[in-house]
Amino acid sequence: MRYRRADEPKGSEITPESVWTARRSVVKSLLGAGAIGAVATPGWAAGSPTGRILEAKHNPAYGAEDTPNTWDDVTTYNNFYEFGTDKSDPARNAGSLRPAPWSVTIAGEVQQRGTFALEDLLKPHPLEERIYRLRCVEAWSMVIPWVGFPLADLIKRLQPTSKAKFVAFTTLKDPVQMPGQRGGVLDWPYVEGLRMDEAMHPLAFMAVGLYGRVLPNQSGAPLRLVVPWKYGFKSAKSIVRIDFLERPPTTTWAASNPREYGFFANVNPAVDHPRWSQKTERRIGGGVFAPRIQTRPFNGYTEVASLYSGLDLSRWF
Amino acid sequence: MVLSRAVQRRALIKAIVHLAAAAPLALMVSRTLWHPESLGANPIATLIDNLGLWALRLLLVTLALTPLRILTRSSAWLFYRRLLGLWAALYALLHLLMYVLVDQRVDLRVLLEDVIKRPWITVGFAAILILLALTVTSTEAMRRRLRKNWQRLHNGVYVAAILGVWHYLWQVKKDLRPPLVYAVILVLLFAIRLWRRRFKATSAPATAPGKT
């Protein structure tokens, strides 16, 4: 038999976690947490978000017109082949990823080269919340409240040289942590890239969280790219390496099937995928009887159109 | 008496087969009505995918009956062939209707474009047309009226199965493993038939039992 020490609380005296987290949220709302502290969990999040709370201010310039998808939708319907090819696989299998400690290697045509601990890389960047539409190349879409900072701020701080014309983002390759990499579905590691002017656009975003919490593993913890005017596969997840390049990088999906996936991958209802139409999309969360919605050029972010003036978008898809 | 007991047993097995074939559909309907969240974030895609998968599964089971007859030397299996084939056709039709009516909302321009421009949809659509033709001609009266042509027509079930698996293979974005399982099963079923044809010297039941 095990004896209870005098200073040890009885089981009945321990406050259940659900109770103390509820108390904390009351305290936080009393303190007006939504204003400057953590982003308060809004009412439209049905399933309760989990994970460490991040301090971030909502940026009202992005996404007021769209109602975000629920935490459950965002975190259980994912394409992250490193954890399996079914949409439900990442939520099931991503527990094996260890997002901390994490380091990111900066290499290529850039002055601040080296391998940095994630905390050091993030420290100078104040976090903000942006609500972006995400349009998957498979013709479905979501609306997601990301927490992060503009990619341009990071790039400026790393000081690329004049030779740097492209940026490439590489996902972790570790079949132990990422069981999907044990099969040869794609050529691992996953690499995605942007032209430098695309990367410097104010919409390009580095995310470390969603719904005011740190990114869950299945959403690309601990650091991912978000490029809202491009199909979702451009937004590399669980990034361990950023290369500044003179030549365009070989990107994973474009290499895997160049007929179906291009380097630019801008959302474009006028250019169909060879096997399906891109004119409409199914907005996740509408239920069984909601109609499809029209897909908009650049996913509605037409402010990026000037980046592609003079470019034949049906050829450079 | 012996015969009537066999008939009774057959009726019982048929009832069980009906229930088993209807179960996935019943589950889909009940989940849609009462637990839509259990269908995941994209319920329409889940329903379309599941209806298509069950159509293929039931089609493969239907096609497995003749190889089972060969392997077990019992023609009893064939009593359930029409029944299973009709269920497969129903799932296939619902798969198509879910796409046409619920997902695309009868946008004929889109549907026409899909069938004409996208070979994987053309192939799937052709498979369903074949299954519908087989369904319409599945009655005993049609069988008598079509005589020899009936068997010719109903050999189309093999074509439908090949097209169905092909449609599934072609639809996948990258991971071919799940549809390849269906393809391998289909090849195995064909292999048993071919092997049987080669060694036809061994006893062969003359014709399939007529009524189901």
Amino acid occupying residue A131: I
Q: What is the pLDDT of residues B83-97, one digit of tens each?
A: 999 999 999 999 999
Q: Mean pLDDT over residues A35-56, rounded? A: 64
pTM, two decimal places? 0.83
Q: What is the tens place of the pLDDT at every residue in A220-237?
A: 999 999 999 999 999 999
CA dist A91 and A70 (Å) reads 15
Does residue A173 carry a pLDDT above 90? yes
Check pLDDT > 80 for residue B12: yes
pLDDT computed for residue B5 by the predictor: 87
Residue with tokens 């009524």: B211
Cα distance from B44 to chain A (closest Cα, Å)? Answer: 6
B108 within some domain: yes
Percent of chain A at pLDDT > 90 equals 79
Q: Are the Cβ atoms of A291 and B105 closer than 8 angstroms?
A: yes
Give domain limits for chain A. Answer: 18-307
Chain A residues with CB-CB distance to B39 below 8 A: 288
Fold for A18-307, please state it. Answer: Sulfite Oxidase; Chain A, domain 2 (3.90.420)
Query: Can you give the pLDDT at residue B205?
Result: 52
Neighboring chain B residues of A77 at a CB cutoff of 8 Å: 40-42
Write the pLDDT tens digit of every residue in A127-172.
999 999 999 999 999 999 999 999 999 999 999 999 999 999 999 9
The most confident of A20-34, A47-61, B85-99, by mean pLDDT = B85-99
Who has greater pLDDT, B175 or A192? A192
| Cβ pair A269, A297 in contact under 8 A | yes
| Alpha-carbon gap, residue A76 to A50, rounded angstroms | 13
Let me know if residue B211 belongs to a domain.
no
CB-based contact B34:B11 (threshold 8 Å): no
What is the reported pLDDT for B199? Answer: 75
Nearest to A204 by CA among A232, A233, A234, A225: A225
A279: which chain B residues are within 8 Å (Cβ-Cβ)?
110
pLDDT for the residue numbered A308 = 96
- Decide if B203 is inside a domain: no
Domain that includes residue B180, residue range:
2-198
Contacts of B102 in chain A (CB under 8 A): 288-289
Buried b (16+ CB within 10 A) or exposed e, A172-199: bbbeebbbbbeeebbebbbbbbbbbebb
Contacts for A131 with CB less than 8 Å, ≥ 6 apart: A62, A63, A64, A66, A68, A143, A144, A145, A146
**Which of B43, B170, B173 minimises the CB distance to A288?**
B43
**Are B159 and B130 in contact, with CB atoms under 8 Å apart?**
yes
Q: A252, A288, A292: which to substitute to probe chain B, counting the most B Cβ within 10 Å?
A: A288
Q: Is residue B210 part of a domain?
A: no
Examine residue B209 and state whether it is found in any structural domain, yes or no: no
Residues of B near A (Cβ–Cβ under 8 Å) read: 32, 36-37, 39-45, 47, 102-105, 110, 113-114, 117-118, 120, 170-171, 173-175, 177
Render pLDDT for B175-187 as a digit per residue (tens, 0 to 9).
899 999 999 999 9
Q: B206 Cβ partners below 8 Å, 6+ apart?
A: none
> Of A19 and A100, which is predicted with more confidence?
A100
Task: Quote the number of domains for chain B.
Answer: 1
| pLDDT (0 to 100) of residue A54 | 95
- Segment A279-285 shows an average pLDDT of 95
Q: Which residues, in sequence order, are CB contacts of B91 under 8 Å at separation 6+? A: B24, B25, B51, B52, B54, B55, B58
**Phi, psi at A111, each rounded to 5°:** -80, -40
Chain B residue at shortest CA distance from A46: B37
Give the pLDDT score at A28: 40
Cβ A169 vs Cβ A242: under 8 Å:
yes
Does A279 score more than 70 pLDDT?
A: yes
